[in-house]
Amino acid sequence: MRESVSAGARLEATLLFLATGCSFTRLQYHIRISRTSLSVIILETCQAIYDVLKDDYMKVRVV
């Protein structure tokens, strides 16, 4: 059984993806996480960041 990917590794992969724009294929060799797992991890991590920060930084303007 494989070990789960740590929160730190998830954040590292997500920030590297967002900062560089690398493809999942290229990123998988740098981070050593499969392309399929990266796609899930990055989506989940971005969603978690959004959920935490949306009320403070993504306010909806009322017209």
Residue 46: predicted pLDDT: 96
- Grouping H, G, I as helix, E, B as strand and the rest as coil, residue 15 is helix
So where are the chain's domains? 7-57
Q: Tell me: pLDDT of 62 over 90.
A: no
Tokens 């392309």 sit at which residue?
A: 35
- The residue type found at 15 is L
**Predicted TM-score (pTM) of this structure:** 0.81
In tens, the pLDDT along 5-16 reads 999 999 999 999
